[in-house]
Structure 1
Amino acid sequence: MRVLILGGTGFVGRAVAEEAARRGDEVTLFNRGRRGGVPGAVSLVGDRLAPDGLDALGAGEWDAVVDTWSAQGEAVRRTAELLSGRAGQYTYVSSRSVYRWLAPPPLTEDTELVDADEPGYAGDKLRGERGAAAFGGPVLLARAGLILGPYEDVGRLPWWLNRMARGGPTLAPGPRDLPVQLIDVRDLAAFVLDAAARRLAGPYTVVSPPGHTSMGELLEAANEVTGGRALLRWTDPDAIVAAGVEPWTQLPIWFPPGPEHEFMNTGDVSKAVAAGLRCRPARETVADTWAWLRDAGVAPQRDDRPRVGLDPAVEAKLLGEQLQGEQLQGEQLRGEQ
């Protein structure tokens, strides 16, 4: 295929570009030219927020367009309108954040969406979806869940990997068997390109099936690939929440059992699976991310997302309190005997 990727040098866009190049597709990237390109791809330079920023896309035809934009929806509308009639299919990489927060389960493509004027990331992604409709042809809305893998620029899995590499007693948010839904960025890329070749349209929730992995498998794999120096101390979620630790941001990937966890980790992805979605083992995602991180040295960080991770002092305090509780419990048991 002739594939145009709007972006193509960051996290998701780079994964799509590399997968398309691996398949032998003709790849064109359109971006601001601030990062290195992808070998074999043609690069067009432009700024979607500038008055004449789309001039480089004024000519050309493609079989598929992949758009990873996550800011103002108007930029998606203008681009989709410009490419109307010059491409076979348009994919907008959206997010399951467009579903109304804590909407009743099961979460499906028909779940109620956020309001059109919703501020922030969720609203921007919804407005991007609406803007993509200006393409006028088949538009696929890939509503991705938690995206992990090489080139991650949010910092969730890189933070855990670096924490494991530091070693020593390590706070592991429980319970150990807590299910996690995620999507390896390379599996997302493969799904998007396969769908584009078939000119699929409409919304698809793109994340692993429920129960694909767990916090235990993720953190134990992270510890293993980084050398096994961390001593995982599985900690009661109530104690973590009581200490004021923020799930998802201070402890990336994790939500304690409850409505938030259920919303994020029990989505119905049968539509995407029926359309060809395949998810690799989570351990492979962890190992490959660590290999990339060692080569990169420092993980990139998006400037439109907050930094994630737990302050070492807060972690040490929680671990100390947990140890004291275990010692006290042990003394009580010995006294009863």
Structure 2
Amino acid sequence: MSALAVPGLVVPGLALAAEPTGRSEKPLRILIMGGTGFIGPHQVRYALARGHQVTLFNRGRQPQDWPGQVEELLGDRNTGDLKALEGREWDVCVDNPTTLPFWVRDAGRVLHGKVGHYIFISTISTYAANDRAADEAAPLAAYSGKDPMAETAETLRAHGELYGQLKAVSEQEAKRQFGDAVTIIRPGLIIGPGDETDRFTYWPVRLARGGEVLAPGDGADPVQVIDARDLAEWTVRLAERTTPGVYNATGPLQPLTMRSMLEAIAPAVHAEARLTWVSTAFLQAQKVSPWSDLPVWIPGQGDTAGFHRRSIARAQAAGLTYRPLSVSAAETLAWFRRQPAERQAKLRAGLPPEREAKLLEMWKAGSGVRG
């Protein structure tokens, strides 16, 4: 068991300051597919602050108040309704929400010759294996279905294992449709205010609640995350520089572990909590799932040894910067506390309090540890 203390804790190498906002030398016409999800609003606000013209294309189901003029075009990529894009031109298209390859195919058909640069937001989950550290040249997951162009959102919901495979096919389709004028960004776990999955939010909320906290493994498992705002702002800067290529987009600047992550979050949320590290073997025996029951955490051994060890050297060389993890944690907690009471009542990821308490009781009884 270890204490979380020392407000103002500084963990070396956790962050390189986010790049300050300034006006771009050349205003761009930017088409953002989506724009009202997690990273899209951050892209819109940053692009406006940089002096760009922004057009959104989506189904119009999540209206936003923007700090500037934003053109909004309506359509539905599920049904192939892209009529609003016909006859228009943009300097760059940022494609945020696409998982289904036919979305990329259809966008390419409408936007061919109409955009000079296409940025596709993919995922770190496109890789075929996660058993070792690797860079962007590692093999991608092979599609195992019958026809990737026939896959729909319904089949993906029923077969989540297709997610990384379909993203990989979508990457290939992007290159087929847009040639060399393509940037592919593969984010790791995206964190920060606005995350509706709670895959990171669980930890600031849990630590802020205090008491004894079940922490997974021995604290040495690696962690890679990226704040949605850092990802969004860097994407806009890549658009400004017309930077092509493939990039793993996660962080932080220096290697991070579960222990150093939790020890950075705790003082940021004014936690009075103590960690009890529970072995991976025990958690596996109790069918506690990494990533969902204990968010962020993936065992750093065996088949998942490389999941949180992806090389991010290319992205950093291309200007990816990071705000401090403590800032992400504090602002995530503040955002969560502004949500309606019913939203706060039950986190969408992580251990329910009663299960966490039971697991801690079992662990201490079996290991001889006393609370």
TM range (shorter): 0.7 to 0.9
Identity among equivalent positions (%) equals: 37
**Residue equivalent to 1:82:** 110
Deviates more, 1:92-101 or 1:60-69: 60-69
| TM-score normalised to structure 1 length | 0.87
Counterpart CA distance in 2 for 1:268 and 1:329 is 38
Counterpart CA distance in 2 for 1:222 and 1:153 is 19
**Residue equivalent to 2:359:** 318
The offset of 1:325, in angstroms, is 4.6
Contact 1:74 1:127 in 2 (8 A): no
Q: Would the alpha carbon gap of residues 102 and 178 (structure 1) be closer, same or farther in structure 2, given more than 3 Å must change? A: closer
Contact 1:158 1:299 in 2 (8 A): no
Greater RCO, CA 8 A, separation 6+: 2
**Residue equivalent to 2:120:** 92
Counterpart CA distance in 1 for 2:130 and 2:170 is 22
Q: How many residues align?
A: 323
Contact 1:155 1:308 in 2 (8 A): yes
Contact 1:98 1:122 in 2 (8 A): yes
Deviates more, 1:223-232 or 1:66-75: 223-232
Deviates more, 1:119-128 or 1:245-254: 119-128
The residue identity in structure 2 corresponding to 1:309 is: G
**Higher relative helix content:** 1
**Residue equivalent to 1:121:** 163
Contact 2:130 2:304 in 1 (8 A): no
What 5-or-longer segments of structure 1 have no aligned partner? 331-337
Structure 1 residues 51-90: aligned runs within 5 Å: 51=80, 53-90=81-118
Contact 2:265 2:325 in 1 (8 A): no
The offset of 1:102, in angstroms, is 2.6
**Residue equivalent to 1:250:** 293
**Quick one: which of 308, 315, 329 aligns to 2:349?**
308
Structure 1 residues 177-188: aligned runs within 5 Å: 177-188=220-231
User: Alpha-carbon deviations, 1:266-316, whole Å to 9, x = none?
Assistant: 111111111111222221211221222223347989xxxx94222333311
Contact 1:116 1:123 in 2 (8 A): yes
Q: Is residue 2:151 matched to residue 1:108?
A: no
Counterpart CA distance in 2 for 1:131 and 1:307 is 33
Q: Would the alpha carbon gap of residues 288 and 307 (structure 1) be closer, same or farther in structure 2, given more than 3 Å must change? A: closer
Q: Is residue 2:217 matched to residue 1:174?
A: yes
Q: Is residue 2:51 matched to residue 1:8?
A: no
**Quick one: which of 44, 48, 54 aligns to 1:17?**
44
Q: Would the alpha carbon gap of residues 261 and 280 (structure 1) be closer, same or farther in structure 2, given more than 3 Å must change? A: farther
Counterpart CA distance in 2 for 1:113 and 1:216 is 30
Contact 1:293 1:299 in 2 (8 A): no
User: Alpha-carbon deviations, 1:197-249, whole Å to 9, x = none?
Assistant: 22122211111157443222332344334442433222222222222111111
Counterpart CA distance in 2 for 1:292 and 1:101 is 35
| TM-score normalised to structure 2 length | 0.80
Look up the SS of the partner of 1:162 in the other structure: helix
Look up the SS of the partner of 2:116 in the other structure: strand
What 5-or-longer segments of structure 2 have no aligned partner? 1-27, 146-160
**Quick one: which of 288, 295, 312 aligns to 1:269?**
312
